[in-house]
Amino acid sequence: MNTSGPVDQGLRLIPFRGLRYVPERVGSLAAVTSPPYDVVVRPDGLHHLESADPHNIVRLILPQADTARDRHRQAADTLDRWLAEGVIAPDPDPVLYVYEQRNDEILQRGLIGALALSPASAGIVLPHEDVMDDVVADRAELMRTTGAHLEPLLLTYRGDEGTPTGAAAVIDRTVLREPLLATTTEDGFRHRLWAVTDPADRSEIETDLARYQALIADGHHRWATYLRLQREQTAPGPWDHGLVLLVDTARHPLQVRAIHRLLRNLPVSRALEALTGHFRVQQVEGPLPRALGVLAEAAAAGNAFLLAGDGGFHLVDRPDPALLARTVRADRPEAWRTLDATVLHSALLDEVWRIPDAPEHIGYIHDTAAAVEQAERLDATAVLMHPVREEVVRDLARQGVTMPRKSTSFGPKPATGLVMRSLALD
C-alpha cells in the first residue's frame, strides 16, 4: 500500500542468508510455524504451539521463564542449540525470497529480504500506529541476545497497474519453478517459498523498488526495535537492515481487520453505568455475527462500539459532542479525530472509564470470538471494534500522523518460522 508516484530514495531490499528449518529434523514445517508473536495472546494458544513440535518457533519468539533476562537468554541458547544440532541451518548464499500464501479465497505473494532502515521523517517507510515503549524494549533485548530477526514484518507498497514489470514480473517468473518449501498450516493457508538467485532478477527488483515507499502493515513495534538497535551501533553493519516481507497491494490487496480491547478489571455492568449521558447504549441480539452486523451499520454513520462479556451485546454509539470536544485533540486532522480508536482511547478509556493503557488493564485481541470468550470468563468487558478503511490508514500515514496503537490488523500475516535472519551471517 504505497503512495502513488516515485520517491527520491525508495525501498532498498538486499539479499541475506536465510535461516530455515531442516525438514528432515522436524515433524513437519507446519508444526514448527506460528502466527506473529503479538497474535499468540492466549496461554492455550501458546501451549498448543509448544506441544505441536518441540522445535516450534514460539520457543524463540515467546520463550517462557521467570524473568525477562532469563527468557531472552533461553531463546538465544535454544537458537544456538538448534543450529548446532542441524534443526535450523543457513542457506548457502545470500538471496531474496518470493513468499506465497494462499487459501481458497486469498492469494498473496511478496518479497522477503533485508530492508535498509530509515526514520519516518525520510518518507520511505511510513508507520501508521503508535508503539508501546515497554514492548519495544522487550523485543530489542530479544533481538540483541539472539542476534537474529526471527519474524518478518509485513510492509506494503503499491506498484504499477497493468502488465507486470519489475519486481512483479520477477515474482511471476519465480513461482513457475519448484519452491524451496511448501506446507499447509492448520488455518488452511498454503505457504511456498522460492529463492531469487539470478543477479539480473535481483537488479530488476532493486531498480523497481527504488521508486516506492511502503506502509508498515504489521510490525510497528519490531520496526521501532530495528531503529532503536541501529541507533546503538557505532559503525555500519547488519543492524542497518531489517527482515521484512514486501507485498504489492496493486496486485494483492490486504485484508483490514479490527483489533479488539479486553478491559480486564471492568465488568460490563460498570462499563454501561459509566456511559450514561455520554453515549447512546442499546441492547443488541446475538449471536455474535448478527451483533457485528449491527455494529457495522452503526459504524457507517459515526463512532460505534460493541460491548460484550455479560452474555449479551451492547451497541455504544452517538457520543456526546461536548465530550469529544473536551477529550479529543483538536490539533490533528479530522480523519484522525473521528477514528473509533481515537474516540475509544481519548473519550472512553481516559475520561469515562479512566483505565490506564497498560497490559494489566487492557488486552489487545485480534480474534473477535476469543475477545468475547475471555471477557465472559474473566467478568471483564470486551470492546469490539469495526475495521478502519484502508484508504484512511494510507492518507494519515502520508501526512505523518500516527493512529492510536493497535488500531488495525492487516493480513494475511506471514507465518513465523519459515525464514529467519541471523545478523552474524550478514
Q: Compute the radius of gyration of the chain from its Cα atoms.
A: 22
**Gap between the Cα atoms of 2 and 216, Å rounded:** 10
What residues contact 95, with CB distance under 8 A and at least 6 apart?
Answer: 15, 16, 17, 18, 195, 196, 197
Place of cell 451497541: 315
pLDDT of residue 44: 57
Q: Is 356 exposed, middle or buried (0-12, 13-18, 19+ CB in 10 A)?
A: exposed
The pLDDT value given to residue 46 = 66
Query: Rounded CA gap, 254 and 247, in Å?
Result: 9
Q: In whole angstroms, how far apart are CA 143 and each of 152, 291, 384?
A: 13, 41, 33
Q: What angle do the packed helices 199-209 and 166-174 form, to 10 degrees?
A: 140
Read off the DSSP letter of residue 250. T
Q: Is the peptide bond before 412 cis (omega within 30 degrees of 0)?
A: yes
Q: What are phi and psi for residue 301, nearest 5 degrees?
A: -105, -10
* Contact call for residues 407 and 388 (beta carbons, < 8 A): yes
Angle between helix axes 68-85 and 133-146 (nearest 10 degrees) is: 30
To the question of pTM greater than 0.85 for the whole model, the response is no
What was the pLDDT predicted at 116? 97
Strands (E), 175-240: 181-184, 190-196, 214-218
Phi, psi dihedrals of residue 230, rounded to the nearest 5° = -65, -40
Tell me how far apart the alpha carbons of residues 95 and 230 are, in angstroms, rounded to a whole number.
22
Are 416 and 37 in contact, with CB atoms under 8 Å apart?
yes
3-state secondary structure of 128: coil
Q: How far is residue 330's CA from residue 327's CA, in Å, rounded to a whole number? A: 9
Are 286 and 318 in contact by the 8 Å Cβ rule? The answer is no
Q: Which residues contact 34 (CB under 8 A, 6 or more apart)?
A: 40, 49, 56, 57, 58, 61, 415, 416, 417
User: Measured between alpha carbons, how far is 191 from 206 in angstroms, rounded to an integer?
Assistant: 24
What's the start-to-end Cα distance of the chain, in Å?
Answer: 29
pLDDT at 5: 41
Question: Between helices 133-146 and 220-232, what is the axis angle to 10°?
Answer: 60
| Per-residue pLDDT tens digits of the chain, which is 426 residues long | 334 444 457 999 999 999 999 999 998 999 999 888 776 555 456 666 766 789 999 999 989 899 999 999 999 999 999 999 999 999 999 999 999 999 999 999 999 999 999 998 899 999 988 888 999 999 999 999 999 999 999 999 999 888 889 999 999 999 999 999 999 998 899 999 999 999 999 999 999 999 999 999 999 999 999 999 999 999 999 999 999 999 999 999 888 889 999 999 999 999 999 999 999 999 999 999 999 999 999 999 999 999 999 999 999 999 999 999 999 999 999 999 999 999 999 999 999 999 998 889 999 998 899 999 999 999 999 999 999 887 788 788 888 888 887 888 888 999 999 999 999 998
In the block, cell 500516527 appears at: 402
Best CA proximity match to 167, nearest among 129, 234, 113, 107: 113
Query: Can you tell me whether residue 231 is helix, strand or coil?
Result: helix
Could you tell me the sign of the dihedral formed by the alpha carbons of 95, 39, 146, 53, in that order? negative
